A and B are shown apart, each in its own frame.
Chain A
Amino acid sequence: MTEEIIVSFDQVEKKYEKETVLKTISFDLEKGKFYTLLGPSGCGKSTILNLIAGFASPSSGTVSILGKDTRDTPPNKRKINTVFQDYALFPHLNVFDNVAFGLKMKKMNKEKIKSKVTETLKLVRLEGFENRDIAEMSGGQKQRVAIARALVNEPDLLLLDEPLSALDLKLRTEMQYELRDLQQRLGITFLFVTHDQEEALAMSDEIMVMKEGRIVQTGTPNAVYDEPINRYVADFIGESNIVRGRMVRDYAVSFAGKTFTCVDGGMQPDEQVDVVIRPEDLVLTEAEAGDIQIFVQTQLFRGVHYEIMGQDDAGNDWMVHSTRQSEPGRRVGLTFDPQDIHIMRINETEEAFDERIEQFATAAYEKTSKGGAGQDD
């Protein structure tokens, strides 16, 4: 199966005066997938969008669209459209004319423009709003106009620059579903930029986690969440407990003063590692029954669950998400399964990481899941 590659970055570097914003980035975007660039502000996400849209050119390396080097292609000649963070709608035009803008620039005939705009407005559920002024639209509606304005041009790739950040929580969740649905129905490649990990996890086929001008890890939401490559990714995506540990041998790790069975391997014996356990994977029990014991310090009610913070005897901090209540000052036990433990080598490259995970985690996963099935019988 050969997937069509829409955009390809090859060793791309971008410098603004003396500051290097992107450091040798390479990646491919395949047709019809939903990609997310995830990272804190200032990590170079928007620069990548600018390079693709043509508002900036790389200092070195090549950006190619559909296999062609884009060095000399101006933005208006690229079949790529953007949904901007502040929407950047034209306030002097009404909804219809805003959406029709791109088609008018291409000098398409009026009949065709009308049918296409009507169709696209229907797609974003804004039929009947054609003659509205932009000033009369709510935030969510402006968002839809901006999406329609970009989609009506039938781009090969749609760039979305933090488009949901100005909406309130409820609307934002709703738009997440809708964007995902739109993308799947139209089959257009989306490149979504955000600093919100929940958005990234909910919508993407693939997430690229960025840090200081580099792509740190690329993978499906599940992979990035369950197998973060390092402390940074683990911390950035979701809540996590990260403690220092030591690899005793393959499938055995020692932390918090004990040795536990785990599903990772491939390290040197006695290698120092970071151990990640997600707060929702920790189960609260009686102190004696727990794999480790913690002393509860604070407890917050979060609605869906309680967020319990505590410390073990070795001085590590632990965060637990539990539907069961505890109370500050109590000593409780925590249990977890071997596959909940994720081991990260310090300063491992993405290639080495992927290879190791391929080799060990899948083999171990098959072993444990078989074991689990046996127990159920």
Chain B
Amino acid sequence: MKQKQKWATVYLVLVFILLYTPIFYLIFYSFNEAGTMNQFSGFTLNHYSALAEDARLLIIALDTVRIALLSALIATVIGTAGAIGIYYTRQRRAQNVLLSLNNILLVSPDVIIGASFLLLFTLVGFQLGFYSVLLAHIAFSIPIVVLMVLPKLEDMNANMITAARDLGASPIQVLTSVILPSITPGILAGYFMAFTFSIDDFAVTFFVTGGGFATLSVEIYSRARQGVSLEINALSTLLFLVAVSLVSGYYFIQQQQRNRKKLSQLDPTVHEKAVTP
């Protein structure tokens, strides 16, 4: 038994090494004094300062964040509305069809989605650039939001809606004071998922960026094709650090919530009050 467990651990460590080595390799060479990744000649932050002076790259980075924030926001609004729509669809069949249509978009290859958007935009004569990218990102983020929000709706006690109406809430009041607060965690998760998917996306974006506009992933790709510049390493390192801090931030928030819940369960007066009404 113990032997088996040991091998499992070794295997796991190996997998992680394999996954993380290229990233650390890249990070390591971002501090290389020599301009290439052939050998390490000495420590420097030159690539980082070059990065700071690269106005074009900074604008692209800002644009990327702008696209991500905006597209995630709009996709969250539309996706949440869509999820509520699917939830309220009475007929089981129609509900399944809607859900399947949503899921197909989620699993279909980015290349196809990207190509079809390119086709659509050129067909209707839409100028490629910031707005085409924004629209494309909104479009592929909506199914993600739907998928994050729908389970929260289904977990919700449906009688709560009945109770709210019984207490005199109009349909809009039911939505704002019962449904939305109950599914807020799902909406937030959907927003962050949409945000990261937007930052991440290369394939779809690649099709719909015009000449004058690029996002980081597209820019890194085109620069890497022209030959290795360690500025890219520096940029990738920064992105990696942002990702790590986001993940750990999320972890700490979750941890705190869990602790709070435990405390309330440990409240010694709860039992006593349960016994004496």
Contact = CB atoms under 8 A, between A and B. Distances in A.
A138 interface: yes
Contacts of B274: 138-141
Nearest to B271: A138
Interface string A133-175: 1011111110010000110010000000000000000010010
B212 interface: no
Interface stretch (A74-82, A205-213, A339-347): A74-82
B166 interface: yes
Contacts of B160: 88-90
A336 interface: no
Interface in B150-200: 157, 159-160, 162-170, 173, 177-178, 181-182, 184
Interface in A95-123: 101-102, 104-106
B246 interface: no
B270 interface: yes
Contact of B277 (A75, A133, A153, A174): A174
A76 B162 contact: no
A125 interface: yes
B273 interface: yes
A252 to B, nearest CB: 53
A301 interface: no
Contacts of A138: 270, 273-274, 277
B226 interface: no
Contact of A102 (B162, B168, B264): B168
Nearest to B156: A91
Contacts of B173: 105
A149 B181 contact: no
A233 B168 CA distance: 37
Contact of A125 (B169, B177, B264, B277): B277
A178 B182 CA distance: 32
A333 to B, nearest CB: 47
A150 B274 CA distance: 22
A86 B162 contact: no
29 contacts: A55-B162, A76-B166, A76-B167, A76-B168, A82-B166, A84-B159, A84-B163, A86-B157, A86-B159, A88-B159, A89-B160, A89-B163, A90-B163, A90-B164, A90-B181, A90-B182, A101-B164, A101-B169, A105-B164, A105-B177, A125-B277, A133-B264, A136-B264, A137-B273, A138-B270, A138-B274, A138-B277, A140-B274, A140-B277
B53 interface: no
Given A125-B277, A140-B277, A90 B178 contact: yes
A18 interface: no
Contact of B165 (A75, A104, A150, A153): A75
A82 B163 contact: yes
Interface in A242-276: none
Contacts of A75: 165-166
A53 B273 CA distance: 33
A92 interface: yes
A137 B267 CA distance: 11
Interface string B46-69: 000000000000000000000000
Most buried by A among B163, B165, B169, B170: B163
A76 B165 contact: yes
A171 B264 CA distance: 24
A159 to B, nearest CB: 8
Interface residues of A, number: 37
Given A86-B157, A101-B167, A136 B270 contact: yes
Contacts of B277: 125, 138, 140-141, 144, 171, 174
Contacts of A140: 274, 277
Contacts of B168: 76-77, 102, 105-106, 153
Contacts of A133: 264
Nearest to B166: A82
Given A102-B168, A104-B177, A105-B169, 12 more contacts: A53-B166, A82-B166, A88-B160, A90-B181, A105-B167, A105-B173, A105-B177, A138-B273, A144-B277, A150-B166, A153-B168, A174-B277
Given A138-B273, A138-B274, A84 B165 contact: no
B267 A136 contact: yes
Contacts of B177: 101, 104-105
A160 to B, nearest CB: 12
A81 B267 contact: no
Interface string B262-273: 001001001001
Contacts of B166: 53, 55, 75-76, 80-82, 150
Nearest to A55: B162
Most buried by A among B159, B167, B170: B167
A149 B167 contact: yes
A47 to B, nearest CB: 14
Contacts of B181: 90, 92-93
The 5 A-B pairs at the shortest CB distance, nearest first, are namely A138-B274, A88-B159, A102-B167, A88-B163, A92-B181
